[in-house]
Amino acid sequence: MSEAKGDSRVTEVQEWLNETYGAQSWFTKLTVDGMTGAGTCKALCKALQYEIGVKNVDGVIGAGTLAVCPTIGATVTNTNLIKIIQCGFYCKGYECGGITGHYGATVEIAAQKFKMDAGFDAGNGELQPIFIRALLNTDAFVLVKNGKDYVREAQQYLNNTYIVKLSNWALIPCNGIPDRNMMKAIIAGLQYEEANHSTSGVDGIYGKNTLSKAPTLSSGTAKTAYVKIVQMCLMCMMETNAGMDGAFGSALKKQIEEFQKFYCLSGVTSGTVDRITWASLLSSKGETSRAAKACDTSTVLNYAKAKSLYDAGYRYVGRYLSGTVGGKRSKAMTAEEIADIFKAGLRIFAIFQEGTPSLNRYTATVGKEEAQKAVMAARQLGIPENAIIYFAIDYDVMDKDIERVKRYFEGIKRVINRYGKYYRVGIYGARNVCTKICESGLAESCFVSDMSTGFSGNLGYKIPKNWAFDQFHEYQFSSLDGTFGLDKNGYSGQYSGFDTVTVDNQMIPDVSDEYRKKKASALLNTIGIPLPSNFQWGNKWTIELPGAEVTICVYKSASKLPSTEGMLSFNISDGEIDTTLEEKMKDVYGKLDSKFTKDIGLTTPSAMFGMATQIENGEISYSYGIDIEGNLIFKCVSKQVLRSEGPVEYSNGYEFEYKIHKSDEQDPETDKVYDFEEIRAKIEAQDPVTQILFFITIIIVAAKAAVELVLTVIRIIVWILGRFLA
């Protein structure tokens, strides 16, 4: 039996499935971990199919399985069927009296509770096929974290009012989270109402036919079923409690007005659910014939094309920083094109998209590479400081894959930060991925691909609150200089692009004094040293400690640092140090006595790398020795590259000196008088990696040092020399 990490009841389920069906060719043995997941649920579905005689045991409960699936209750004689139901209850979190094969009162109570959670009356405790399918999947029918009661009420209403009437439709989750399933059910409900309560043609897919039959609704309407559908749409598209009473009063009118305003819908009647409003309530792209102020294109524009766009009512155009279309036609902006666009009266917003969209390409490494390309292209074109670059995620990213995209944007953010945030990060993508990336602080503006109505991240999701552009229709635009492909974009006014460029010989401008100080402060904070109130570049200051002193100086350029000739050095790239050094540091600190780690606040090795993370790109050099007074001296010189390209580089420089005063007093804990010459000689005898380790020890401990920790510094050094290196 494997040790379970999750629910003990789910462990029982997995063990029972393995024992009962392990010999069957269609069964894949489950990992017994107590975790309900897709694998366990699929195994239960396969077991059901096997027990009811389905020939193709594939774990998918579709029309064929439902057609032969019996209602399961107390009269069922196949005990394995009852056990499968009991397993389903345990995986869903309902108590059912064990996996006994007996459909008694406890199972009936669980069945009644489950049906009520799905939006139905309790009934007699039997489970019909529609409920069995819902039981044997991973969907939640109880309120989950961040779920809303009013959304759950709507989900239950959809199940009870519409889904149950539709042949072979699965019940939607009732978890309080609006999503694609809920939105599809809402559309199905609208189609059902439009068809006068007929299920013919009800497919839950939005189209022109569905839109054309939707009635115009305004205050006081008696069409309560349609009003409820509008209220449920608002729950998804505005994440607001619009009620479920079917009444179109002043409160709902105000919510409709807010929806129209937030989505910047043109050509609508304020507070009325008209055709354009219906379209945006039901679909991410909305009514594609509506007017738009913004657009984007992969075509390199000339004056005639740009002027035609202006004359058509467009004021903002999205253009690409680099790349080609199909590996043949360039889509990259040119200086001449920018001049023509500005001459025509348009503003520009910048887009970066290269490569074939796939999950595999969304890595931190690719993010860094592409951010570097984007910044260089933008600087070559003279795009001004503070402009937003929209990095494209033209892919249907599922919730489970958001973390991959986060890593891509972490790489982008790292490079953008390296340039002193000269440019800002935006994201192009579906609603859900845009929202999640911005909530993570990795982008600040959204260019939403609402035209991709089939993306799971669009249907049922609210447009991000920080949306700037909303791509909703692709068509062939006729200009004074021929036709070309154009995407219509809604415009929110939250970002207006740029209408000037400045091209000069200084491709990489210097960073601001404020930014330099911010980076210096962040670096010093990692070792516990604040910038003094009277801080000046190049001026040293000293922190006195009993038995020691720390002297620090920060320079406005690493070129002003003293020579590092003869010092031991290591490089830092993208916040990471050499792997060999990192592993050795972890090894040493992992073996430190707990007293030392407690004294200096280093409970995990990660605390050691804060300095490298803040430097991000640069170099640390160090030396040690004994001065003429016999004091033990550790020196550190650090270069922090803030921005660079080719021969152009801007940096901060840091100089540290940690002096431990010579003392003939005994350490009260060890009864030793420490011989600094002996310590220096032993350090010098070690390999360079180990010597660097001692330097980092000194810097970190000195930084953490409260006044009584000077002896701790020496104790750690002696401990490492005498016990780890022995």
- Please write the tens of the pLDDT for every residue from 86-112: 999 999 999 999 999 999 999 999 999
Task: Classify 614 as helix, strand or coil.
Answer: helix
State how far the Cα of 589 lies from the Cα of 609, in Å rounded to an integer.
12
**At residue 381, does pLDDT exceed 90?**
yes
Could you give the dihedral angle defined by the CA atoms of residues 426, 428, 434 and 437, in that order, rounded to the nearest 10 degrees? -50
Distance CA 168, CA 64 (A): 9
Tell me: do 124 and 5 sit in the same domain: yes
Alpha carbon distance 43, 24 (integer Å): 12
- Domain closes at, from 232, 262, 283: 283
What tens digit of pLDDT does each residue of 270-282 get?
999 999 999 999 9
Please check whether residues 547 and 679 belong to one and the same domain. yes
Give CA 524 to chain center in angstroms. 29
* C-alpha triplet 159, 160, 165: angle, nearest 5°: 85
The whole-number average pLDDT for the span 240-250 is 95
Residue with tokens 């579906």: 430
- E strands, 461-547, are 467-479, 482-491, 541-545
CA distance 374 to 409: 13
Residues 259 and 322 in one domain: no
Percentage of the chain lying above the pLDDT 90 cut: 65
Mean of the pLDDT values across residues 138-165?
97
Within a domain: 685:
yes
Find the range with the poorest average confidence among 333-347, 607-621, 708-722: 708-722
- The pLDDT value given to residue 706: 39
Is residue 166 domain-shared with residue 76, that is, in the same domain?
Answer: no
Task: For residue 170, name the pLDDT band (cuts at 50, 70, 90).
Answer: very high
| Residue of 63, 170, 81 whose CA lies nearest to 126 | 81
- Can you give the pTM of this predicted structure? 0.75
Does residue 64 have a pLDDT over 50?
Answer: yes
Buried-exposed string 40-54: b where 16+ CB fall within 10 A, e elsewhere? bbbbbbbbbbbbbeb
Residue 508 lies in a domain: no
Do 49 and 133 lie in one domain? The reply is yes
Q: Are residues 78 and 154 in the same domain?
A: no
Residue type, 236: C
Q: Among 240, 257, 283, where does a domain finish?
A: 283
With H, G, I as helix, E, B as strand and everything else as coil, classify residue 471. strand
Q: How many domains does the chain have?
A: 4
Same domain, 73 and 174: no
Helices (H), 419-512: 431-439
What rounded mean pLDDT belongs to the chain?
Answer: 87
Question: What are the CA-CA distances from residue 610 to residues 338, 388, 399 (Å)?
Answer: 43, 29, 31
Least confident of 361-365, 418-422, 495-499: 418-422
**Per-residue pLDDT at 703 exceeds 60:** no
Q: Is 547 in the same domain as 670?
A: yes
Each residue of 411-464: pLDDT tens digit?
999 888 877 678 999 999 999 999 999 999 999 999 999 999 889 899 889 999
* One domain for residues 193 and 97: no
User: Domain range for residue 520?
Assistant: 513-724
User: Structure tokens of 548?
Assistant: 């020691």
Could you say which of 106, 138, 170 is where a domain stops? 138
Label residues 503-515 b or e (16+ Cβ within 10 Å = b).
eeeeebbebeeeb
Region 386-406 average pLDDT: 95
Query: What is the b/e burial string over 605-638, where b = at least 16 CB atoms within 10 angstroms of the residue's CB?
Result: bebbbbbbbbbbbbbbbbbbeeeeeebbbbbbbb
CB 485 within 8 A of CB 298: yes
Residue 567: what pLDDT?
A: 81
Q: What is the pLDDT of residue 614?
A: 78
